[in-house]
Amino acid sequence: MSKRSSNFKKIERDFYRSIDPKIGEALVSHIRGLKFAEVFYGDGDLEDQLMDAATCVWRSDIRETVGCSKVLDALEITEDDLRGVDCIASNPPYTWKVLQPLLDHLVPMKPCWFLLPMDMLSNNYMKPYGKTWLQKVVPVGRLYWFLDEGKTTGTRGTDNYGWYYFSDQNNYDNTVRIIY
């Protein structure tokens, strides 16, 4: 969650629900017509936002949830699991010691759209990924992360987020495109 916001406590396993409609709106035009995997399914908020544009054909999470196909750690997902999937689209954990092995494991199997803090572009630990797999970033802005009386209202976080597109396909030209 936000590094500057003192009124938010860190949630265990970085489980921040994708409840803000801006999250799906920013990604729709990039995955329209595709079949995707949601490997950090949570409560299915992202699939709900994308259902009119793309088809979620694989759902997994580390905990049992309604609508989730498999209880599975994302580091255990195989290429066979992702057969028939065009890409992965998900809101992964942001903690680097968790995210980094996930990138190393998932990106070589399928192109990945991950919702991440925009500040990650400025961090040295992201540099190797920017030079190899990061191809696009779609800024989303500040987001709501908590439901207030069942609505996506309340306090916005103080960090900006974006959809990062990682792929190890051979068409990479070392240029990261920011797409507004």
155-174 average pLDDT score: 77
pLDDT, tens digit, 9 for 90 and up, residues 166-180: 998 765 566 678 786
**Has residue 4 been placed in a domain?**
no
- Most confident of the ranges 38-52, 83-97, 139-153: 83-97
Residue 43 lies in a domain: yes
What type of residue sits at position 84?
A: G
How confident is the model at residue 170, as a pLDDT? 63
* Domain assignment of residue 124, yes or no: yes
pTM: 0.83
What are the tens digits of pLDDT across the range 35-71?
A: 999 998 877 888 888 999 999 998 877 666 655 566 6
Q: Tell me: the pLDDT tens digits for 116-139? A: 999 998 899 998 988 889 999 999
Residue 174: per-residue pLDDT: 61
Q: DSSP for 64-81?
A: --TT-SEE--GGG--TTT
Which among 87, 88, 138 has a CA at the least distance from the CA of 116? Answer: 138
Residue 117's pLDDT is what? Answer: 92
Please report the pLDDT score of residue 38 as a whole number.
92
Question: Does 95 map to a domain?
Answer: yes
Q: How far, CA to CA in Å, does 18 sit from each of 47, 89, 142?
A: 9, 12, 12
6 domain-assigned: no
Quick one: pLDDT band at residue 146, thresholds 50, 70, 90? low
CB 66 within 8 A of CB 44: yes
Which CATH number goes with the domain that contains 56? 3.40.50.150
Average pLDDT over residues 9-18: 56
The per-residue pLDDT for 112 is 97
Residue 41 within a domain = yes
Query: What range defines the domain where residue 39 resides?
Result: 12-178
Residue 109 falls within a domain, yes or no? yes
Q: Does any domain span residue 158?
A: yes
Give the chain's domain count: 1
What percent of the chain has pLDDT above 90? 46
